[in-house]
Amino acid sequence: MGIKVTKFGGTSMADAKSMNQVANIIKSDAQRRYVVVSAPGKRFKEDIKITDLLYSCYYDIEIKGECTDSFNKIRERFIKIVEDLKLDYDIVPELDKVEREMKQYHSPAFCASRGEYLSAVIMSHLLGFKFVDAKELMIFSEEGDFLAEETNENIKNKFKNLKCVVVPGFYGADPLGNIHTFSRGGSDVSGAVIARAVKATIYENWTDVNGFMVTDPRIVDKPEKIDVLSYQELRELSYMGANVLHPDSIFPVRVSGIPINIRNTFEPTNSGTMIVPVVDDVEAKKRVVTGIAGKKGYSTVFIEKSMMNGELGFARKVLSCFEYYNMSIEHMPSGIDTMSIIVADSELAGKEDVLLEKIRQTVNPDHIEIKTGIALIATVGHGMCFNPGTSAKLCLALANANINIRMLDQGSSELNIIVGVTDKDYESAIKAIYHAFY
Ligand code: ASP
């Protein structure tokens, strides 16, 4: 029998009703043996996530030396969940201990981690599964770096004789016992790390949407769902802002070729999106474009110099200036005597003048300037290489929508086409590309 690692996000843990729903999903399949949970998330739009409330507790302790008021909101929420679940379990002593320890250990990571901790304790009572604390499993260095290989060996050993387990997501500990967390949304990473260690047949990531949509539903009304996605396509789309899954959760399952299935706790009959190591040609040919994602907030450093093309090492010298100021670049489309380097505004911020001066001194260009206000859009799909005319179709769609393309970059992998447009054209460009292919 295969092993399924299941991770449930914050909305799946938001109240007793959704936790019961989670329990039904787990009980309906005996392969669902390893369960990773988030802290309770929002029950409605204006609600506050438990993790955010816990960070407020941390700041209250910092300022006032205590957090009784802010912790009361958390206390009430967990007490209500346990009451509504009708569990024969008194959570009050556990809540008292958490409040005490938050003051004692007083670190943002320790405070934030308590949401996942309490969620997992409750789920272990509800399911009758063993609770295993993530601080015994996920190993971080004292500096807070996650140690993937040590953790993998550790979990393999610890889980040898354990059949059904609940683990809190999001955190782990260093060898001194100090708690560290992954970045926000990091329970996805915890689930992926466990899936790798137990050699799961599948990593199910249960959330509140039916999977990845072809594009952002805030821009295109009811976009189609992506049924199958490759790790490579996922990487491209996540990098460009499609954020159903934490980007760091891809590596652990990818190295061992474990598929990820994004599922909806509130619509469990929907098959969701399946993320697989490779999409075969038959699947790839079904569609030209798998997904479209993008981000605003980029600038171009435009450089012009006659005879640039013949100057050996020109590109290297220019790039060394970016490296000197610790900036990563995104793309580098070039002409014969021109070169454009696309950089995120966050990388450039405050360093514009020194960077231009350094480039001037290094390569003595005829002209150099920074053009701001660029949005990048990635159109991604393995199907592109089977369909000549994809870029033409995309460009025509943008032309018909009266959108000027400020940059175009198609890698030779033929997996994606990146276009740069003016910020104000971003939404219309996404719509135009979507409707050209869907
Ligand atoms: N609770 C954490 C957060 O809100 C981690 C997670 O839910 O994955 O970011």
Check pocket membership of 115 for ligand 1, CB cut-off 6 A. Answer: yes
Check pocket membership of 191 for ligand 1, CB cut-off 6 A. Answer: no
Render each residue's pLDDT in the chain as its tens digit; 438 residues: 899 999 999 999 999 999 999 999 999 999 999 999 999 999 999 999 999 999 999 999 999 999 999 999 999 999 999 999 999 999 999 999 999 999 999 899 999 999 999 999 999 999 999 999 999 999 999 999 999 999 999 999 999 989 999 999 999 999 999 999 999 999 999 999 999 999 999 999 999 999 999 999 999 999 999 999 999 899 888 888 788 899 889 889 999 999 999 999 999 999 999 999 888 877 777 788 999 999 999 999 999 999 888 889 999 999 999 999 999 999 998 889 999 999 999 999 999 999 999 999 999 999 999 999 999 999 999 888 888 889 999 999 999 999 999 988 887 777 899 999 999 999 999 999 999 999
Ligand 1 center from residue 116 Cα (angstroms) = 8
Q: Cα(14)–Cα(123) distance, rounded to whole angstroms? A: 12
- Which helix H or strand E contains 195, and what residues bound it? helix 187-197
Chain centroid offset of residue 167 CA? 20
3-class secondary-structure state, position 218: coil
Q: Cα(225)–Cα(272) distance, rounded to whole angstroms? A: 8
Q: What tokens appear for 76 in the block?
A: 């009430």
Nearest protein CA to atom 8 of ligand 1, as residue: 185
Check pocket membership of 8 for ligand 1, CB cut-off 6 A. Answer: no
Q: What tokens appear for 121 in the block?
A: 């304790």
pTM of the model: 0.87
Check pocket membership of 381 for ligand 1, CB cut-off 6 A. Answer: no
- Residues contacting residue 136 through CB under 8 Å, at least 6 positions apart: 158, 173
Strand residues in 165-315 grouped as ranges (E) = 165-168, 171-173, 179-181, 202-207, 228-230, 260-264, 273-276, 291-304
What is the pairing mode between strands 291-304 and 338-344?
antiparallel
Q: What tokens appear for 277 in the block?
A: 């190591």
Ligand 1 center from residue 169 Cα (angstroms) = 8
Q: What tokens appear for 98 in the block?
A: 């958490």
With CA atoms as reference, report the closest residue to 37 among 48, 56, 51.
51
